[in-house]
Chains A and B, each alone.
Chain A
Amino acid sequence: MLRGRVRRFKRRYSRSIGEFLRTFLRNKFGIVGSSILIVFVLTAIFAPYIAPYDPTDVNSIGVAPPFSPPSWVKIFDNSIPKDKVFGLLGTDELGRDIFSQIIYGTRVSLLIGFAAAFISIFIGTIIGLVSGYYGGVIDEALMRITDILLIIPGLPLMIVLAAVLGSSIMNLIFVIGITSWPSIARIIRSQVLTVKEMKFVEVARAVGAGDGYIIFRHILPNVSPLIYVNAAINIANAILIEAGLSFLGLGDPNYISWGTMLFFADQYQALIKLAWWYVFPPGLCILLVVLSFIFIGHALDEILNPRLRLRR
């Protein structure tokens, strides 16, 4: 007979985790999505080692003439003088290296995206669980609140909140998190309604389990595949919203995110000046990160969906 708690624990869960990873990495969407995401995450973590300049450092201003195109443009047009081009992605209106800004911007955009999504998933899940499980007056009350938040137009609400609270990273995370939980709550609640009628929940009650135990041990695990799938979409959404809010000028002025880069690009009329290297890189990064999460979400959906049906 087996002895040892650690051995038991490992055997119990390593099978399912291993199986899951294997299936996930066999899925085309999963591979592409996670590869892209890993690149960005590593970039964010190792930013100081990758970026040649720290964009918040005052000394990084004016390392080259403002609005200089990237160096490799010379491959196509040799006539441009050497001191008028700079770096991998050229410079901005203050002559700062755009490549460095993109690298450091990854940190801000990803951080806000993950944190805001985490808050909205956390709130949404708890509300969905409580509402679905207890029903009755609690359910009605919570659902009415959810409805109200769903009706109010999202972006205008966030703009108002951001303007009132002031633009800082914490506030942005708060604003996005607080306004995105309703849709998750609804989805979770409807799944909870299905799960709580299942016979294994009744058996748990027959054995003497209380509500808390049943919610965390039986309902939550059967609802979590849904959470994972929605989490990916949620994070993508949060990143997009952050970009949007920053582009509108509500981003934290002390930090550079991809959205703020676009804001400044617009402010200083980069497109009119044909400085494509200022506009495309941040836009492309936003696109790629969002795409990677959508792919991951799709892969998760494909894998976890048969289980979502809760029947063989």
Chain B
Amino acid sequence: MKPLIKVVELKKWFPLRRGIIDALLGRKQLYVKAVDGVSFEINSREVFGLAGESGCGKTTTGRCILRLIEPTSGKVFFEEKDITSMSYGELKPLRKNMQIIFQDPYESLNPRMNIYDIIAEPLRVQGLVEDPDEEEEMVYRALEEVELTPPEEFFYRFPHELSGGQRQRVAIARAFILKPKFIVADEPVSMLDVSIRSEILKIMLRERERYGTAILFITHDLSLARHMCERIAIMYLGKIVEMGETEKVIQEPLHPYTQALIAAVPVPDPTYRRGKIPIKGEVPNPINLPPGCRFHPRCIYAKEICRKEEPKLVNVGGRLVACHLYSSK
């Protein structure tokens, strides 16, 4: 089966501002290599997790796929079409198939627009509905689907009148109203109260069932990823270090970084004693990346080769791991 989304060697390097002195002295342009060669595929209707700590490049990857930021290099294919080389004009009709839900329920809604206009906007920009009554029906239904009822009550309210959870539901309604085939969900519940997270995620999954949408679920919370995602990719400093079926990756992590991450996650069970975390050192500076394997300064298994050569993703029993422990055999 052909994948819905195919990302090939995606890179996004942010140049650091150089002063005149640096330019005159001919110092090299420095970059923050937020995403440095990331490749993966997402299948139709799949919930694919992209996990890692802050600064690993997961959010930037998500935004690059939708071309909200322009990638520095690499390609993204949507249904076999290369969307990275398209013009914005060609891209526009495809956009109705790829939407995004952001983390911050406060910032993702225009405070000066009422809820009706916020949800109707995608329809209007894409020119899908001419008749205002038809538009009203679609907005009505969208609000019903995210359980903001009665919908008329919400039409003319403004974002500041709603709670965080309600705003996120509006964001979900807006994302799904175009019936997209793919959605990037960037930490969709991390800023919400714990007791309502499950509700919001349930609504998201229900919409996904209804429209057959694939979701790229970006998160730093591995416990959540375990419950939401079928497959997962773990990122560290701009690269994917491990990728595979979520349950397997979490229960039997292969990459030393994944092992450290899983060991560090606290468990809501007082009888569980967390062991020492198999990691050393501090988080490195993203501007001055270590040579060879990026993780080697913190890796307890680091060998000579790890300092010199960057490991490639190899297939280990159905899983992809980028580590010399597995690739130099």
Contacts and interface: CB of A to CB of B under 8 A. Distances in A.
A206 B96 CA distance: 8
B160 interface: yes
Contacts of B102: 199, 202-203
Interface string A80-117: 00000000000000000000000000000000000000
Contacts of B114: 12
Interface stretch (A244-252, A283-291, A304-312): A304-312
Contact of A203 (B92, B112, B174): B174
Q: Which of A200, A221, A311 has the most CB of B within 10 A?
A: A200
A207 interface: yes
A134 to B, nearest CB: 15
Contacts of B110: 200, 218, 221-222
A206 B63 CA distance: 9
B136 A2 contact: yes
A74 interface: no
B217 interface: no
A207 B113 contact: no
Contacts of B125: 204, 207-209, 213
B119 to A, nearest CB: 11
Q: Which of A202, A204, A221, A222 has the most CB of B within 10 A?
A: A202
B95 A206 contact: yes
Interface residues of A, number: 29
A63 interface: no
A206 B66 contact: yes
Nearest to A200: B110
B116 interface: yes
A205 B108 CA distance: 12
B85 interface: no
B310 interface: no
Q: Which of B96, B111, B126 has the most CB of A within 10 A?
A: B111
A312 B160 contact: yes
A16 B178 CA distance: 28
Contacts of A273: none
Contact of A311 (B99, B107, B132): B107
24 contacts: A1-B140, A3-B133, A11-B156, A198-B107, A199-B108, A200-B107, A200-B109, A200-B110, A203-B100, A203-B171, A203-B174, A206-B95, A206-B99, A206-B100, A207-B96, A207-B126, A208-B91, A221-B113, A222-B111, A222-B112, A310-B111, A312-B111, A312-B159, A312-B160
